[in-house]
Amino acid sequence: MYQIRGPPTLANLKSIQPKQPRKRRKNQQDQTSLSLPKRPTTNRKGMIVTDSAGTPITVFDGASHALSEINRWRKQTYCPVKNNVKVAVASCTDEPGYARKCMDWLIVDDGSTLSSCFDHIEIRPGDKRRHFESLQRITGIPYEEMCFFDDYDLNINNVSSLGVKCFHTPRGMTKDSWDDALNTFGLN
């Protein structure tokens, strides 16, 4: 939520126009300031989530893939270990309402809303360590059996000190980081 301007809103995809690239000077790369999603990203037909500046808000491809895969596991009956996977959000923000609204509108690859993909949601101000302490109390899951994906080094350091297996994703969650986690836990 720290990367968006103002509250999220639903915008008609047809009303959003990509901005033209700026003219470039010699030895300068093209700069486009807006790229529209290539596939549906919300549970509202023809609508996308944007911030107040009109910048689209989407789910990282790797996160969308991972959550859809977990949703498939839950529908299968022959995979007891994978069916016992629990999914949580641990988000530090001064605007939890913005985050929840995005989660209610945004969808993952299988068409599920983000909010429906999670067993536990910890969205509030504070540090990630406290989020994980709360999640551990609520779920009873040992830290060593948890994994965490984040782009911020400080969060990775704080949470890994609890024994959680952490995956640094400086450009957002990718399918590769998801595969690394599956390999770490022997689920691949």
DSSP output for 120-152:
EEEEESS-HHHHHHHHHHHH---GGG-EEEES-
* Confidence class for position 1, pLDDT limits 50, 70, 90: confident
The two three-digit tokens of residue 178, written as one number: 């998801």
pLDDT tens per residue across span 62-93: 999 999 999 999 888 777 677 788 999 999 98
Q: Is the pLDDT at 35 greater than 80, yes or no?
A: no
Lowest mean pLDDT among 13-22, 51-60, 64-73, 139-148: 13-22
Determine the pLDDT at residue 55: 87
pLDDT tens per residue across span 82-140: 778 899 999 998 899 999 999 999 999 999 999 999 999 999 988 899 999 999 999 99
Determine the pLDDT at residue 26: 55
73-83: b (≥16 Cβ within 10 Å) or e = eeeeeeeeebe
Rg (CA), the chain: 18
Within a 10 A sphere around the Cβ of 91, how many other Cβ atoms? 19
Determine the pLDDT at residue 25: 54
Determine the pLDDT at residue 17: 58
Phi-psi region of 111 (alpha: psi -120 to 50; beta: other; left: phi over 0): left
Determine the pLDDT at residue 152: 93
Tell me the CATH number of domain 59-184, given options 3.40.605.10, 3.50.50.60, 3.40.50.1000, 2.60.40.4070: 3.40.50.1000
pLDDT tens per residue across span 141-187: 999 999 999 999 999 999 999 999 999 999 999 999 999 999 999 88
Q: 């024994």: which residue's tokens?
A: 163
Determine the pLDDT at residue 54: 86
* Confidence class for position 53, pLDDT limits 50, 70, 90: confident
* Confidence class for position 14, pLDDT limits 50, 70, 90: confident
